[in-house]
Amino acid sequence: MILEKIKSFFIPKAEPIIRFKSIIQGYEIGQPVCKASDVKPDWMIQQNKNAEKNKAPKFSACPGMDDYYRSGYIIPAWEDFRIIVDSKYAHIEIGTGRGNPPCPNFEVMDYRVVEGAAPIDKTIARHALKLPCPWKVFTKKGYSAFVLPALFHSPFLGEIFPYPGINDYDNYHTINVMFSPLKEMDLKIYAGTPMLHVIPYKREDITCEVGFMNPKEYGEAEFTYRSKKPGLYRKMFHNKKKYDIKYLDK
């Protein structure tokens, strides 16, 4: 114990790659950001039960999709949201109805910014809505983050279209849920439901080459895919990714 204290005094504390800080006290305890890999959606729980019963392959049998599902962090709904949309209007009720929630109200964006991007039903007016998020995001210098719909985690993506983006969170710290309703609805999203999938990455200049394979590349490609043995990619070629998290208030 004493040795650890001495080490911590002389060795500077490593700066986290990404930090999520709530601007409203309580959300960091009640509905905290969590590792994406810790969120088990209902469809996955049911699929695992069916797979065990029927001896069928699980979602995790595809390393690429499983890696994406496990990467990064999930921002859950910080309050209950009720999204009401008819042919003309769109409205969001925030909270449980017992008193005013501490978070900001929703905002209406200029739909022309995203016009045509979402497959909105022709029977409703076009809307672009924003839920200001009570989290601020900070990254280590040189890091940015993909802010994405939680494709494998969220249960409501058939009804609303969240717009993805990339932000440089070493200089800018705001994150919001921006979306368009896709049809008429009375949708309830309860606190704790996955809303956004945030994946940090290190910025660097990316170069690209497109062309026909040379003999060396052909040999490498043929070796990589010449076996259909189950689990070959995961055993021989897959690199494990680690996303850690530390809760300061627990």
pLDDT of residue 232: 67
pLDDT greater than 60 at residue 186: yes
Q: What is the mean pLDDT of the chain?
A: 90
pLDDT of residue 121: 97
pLDDT per position as a tens digit, 27-73: 999 999 999 999 999 999 999 999 888 888 889 888 899 999 999 99
The pLDDT-based confidence of 12 (bands split at 50, 70, 90) is: low
pLDDT per position as a tens digit, 94-139: 987 666 778 889 999 999 999 999 999 999 999 999 999 999 999 9
Helices and strands (H, E) in the chain, number of each type: 6, 13
138 burial via Cβ count (<10 Å: 0-12, 13-18, 19+): middle
pLDDT greater than 90 at residue 240: no
Distance, in Å, from the CA atom of 88 to the CA atom of 181, rounded to the nearest integer, reads: 12
Strand intervals (E) in 13-80: 18-22, 34-35, 73-76
Neighbours of 220 (CB within 10 A): 11
pLDDT of residue 219: 84
* Residue ranges of domains in the chain, CATH in brackets: 13-208 (2.70.40.10)
pLDDT of residue 226: 57
Sheet containing strand 34-35, strands side by side: 34-35, 73-76, 194-202, 143-149, 165-167
Any residues with CB less than 8 A from the CB of 222 and at least 6 apart, and which? Answer: none
- As a whole number of angstroms, the longest Cα–Cα distance in the chain is 69
pLDDT of residue 19: 97
